[in-house]
Structure 1
Amino acid sequence: MRAKWKPYRVATLSLASALVAAGALAGAAGPASAGTTAVRLDYTCTTSLGPTVEVTAWAVGGLPDDGSGPNSVPRHQPAFIDVDVYLMELRPVLELADEVRLDGDSTATLGARITGPDGTRTVEAALTVAPAWVRKSQGASLRTGGAFPVQYLSQEGYYDLHVDGLELVLRPKRADGTSLGTVTASCSHDPAQNDLLGTVWSQGLVSDRPLRPTGLHVVSTTPTSVTLAWEANSWWFPTAGYDVYIDGGNFGRFPGKQATLTGLTPDRLQRAKVVTVDVTGSQSTKSQGLLFTTPPA
């Protein structure tokens, strides 16, 4: 059997510890999931302000666990691959006021290559910047979250996900909300550096389980709550309810196709997923993830 990505697959506790030690989880939205992988990259960025700067990034992937075994997917099902990028020490990129705010109108794009039995494909993940304050007097870390386009890994085998270049479009604001313009950065890493984020195993199995929910969307938000809605259909057995997850944590089971979740943290980027549970206790795979940001308090 092929040796699979052992140096790069990271247990939840050790991954969280590594990112905390690096400062990457400052303001992050929750613990890593069971299918989490991570890789550290050192980027050289050319900025619109002129200088070339060095930025360290942790790319954290949420690979599918939909088949038999970790980081696997049945070949006839879509593969949902989440990714968060934690950027360390952003002050040289911005070179602006003593304190600036970045939020959802700042974006990033992460390039990647997926290499498998059917060749190599290039993909890009559109990333949203989580709300953060960047200060000259403190180390500045920033979380960006998103997902790669839905992938169909239709040939059985192993698919390696390699991280490539990173593009930043940052729109800092003063404390009073006034804009400080737009700063862009185009970043690349040393091609000799390890860039393997993880490996997905495409399998030929067919699972008999409830259908996963689709069409997950936000109905409304407050600083400490969100109302979500989705579409779903029953399978062989009637549906007992829907489990809703926020950043990997189960917020409970809800009887209908809408749920209001309370007790959330204000001004935070968060990822929701939903699972269908039937009356026998069988569960669907998780829905495609949905990113949302709670407003400031």
Structure 2
Amino acid sequence: MLETTSSLASSVRDYTYENGRRYHAYRHGQYPMPNDEQEQDRQELFHHICRLLTGGEMFRAPITAAGTPLPSAQRIRILDMGTGTGLWPMDMAEDFPQAEILGTDLSPIQPVFVPPNCRFYVDDLESEWTYPPAEAFDYIHGRSLAGGIADWPKLVGQAYTHLNPGGWFELQEFEARITSDDGTHLQSPLLREWLDKLEFSSQKFGKPVMNVAANLASMMHQAGFVNITNEIYKCPIGSWPKNPRLKEIGQVAKLALLEAVESYSLALFTRVLGQSAEEALEFVSRVRSEILRNTYHMYVRFYYVYGQRPE
């Protein structure tokens, strides 16, 4: 059952602490990422990167026409799955004051004071969704969920079921691998080893598809979505691009990656791989040192995939 962040039982806020980081209490142990202030800062950096990549836009699905969202609907409902700090739904609420926007997450870390058309709930998006048919959504959004989902086809299918006919579903995910056009990424063996360990430990943890981005369009097709579009953006890591816009993106992305190494690693490497906290942090430090070098022309691919439930 959904529970608003303003009416939470105290147990939901009884966070657990592990290896110097704070983790969610609700459905404890099912999600390997921390929820502390350090992680929230990383999520805000990631939100900034996503907006930089798209020129400021927060979504790519064609949910607007002449500045009006989904004009054929009388009551616009938007769901943000795994909302994190809530930046995306709050920004959307400001842009679309006529919309009703819900954000769900395992952790009640969102602000108390939010736009009046924006609400947050503590919920596990991997559970059975309990929204009644009268409360179907016109647009469902999810971003950076890889590593936290055990059954992606089930998630995509639930989104389809809870959309109004003609509604849109959008997933924004990045590949958990690095590449380059000149082969310089091959000079970063520790970073590539880290990504391999993430994929392996995530599978053993029960969240098997860290690199799900390239498969999302196929999953949407199998679920029944139509008008599926797969947009791919190159996100540079570091200030190596000559283009000023890409250079700015690369600088922010490098900071975010430096923070992500620890956030993604600690729980998986200690709980799953059996490393001590000291061993995991020592490896994290070496990976970060490699990222800080300025000899690579690396990038990751971001996928913005969206499809429509048939009318």
Give the TM-score normalised by the residue count of structure 2: 0.25
Higher helix share: 2
Higher strand share: 1
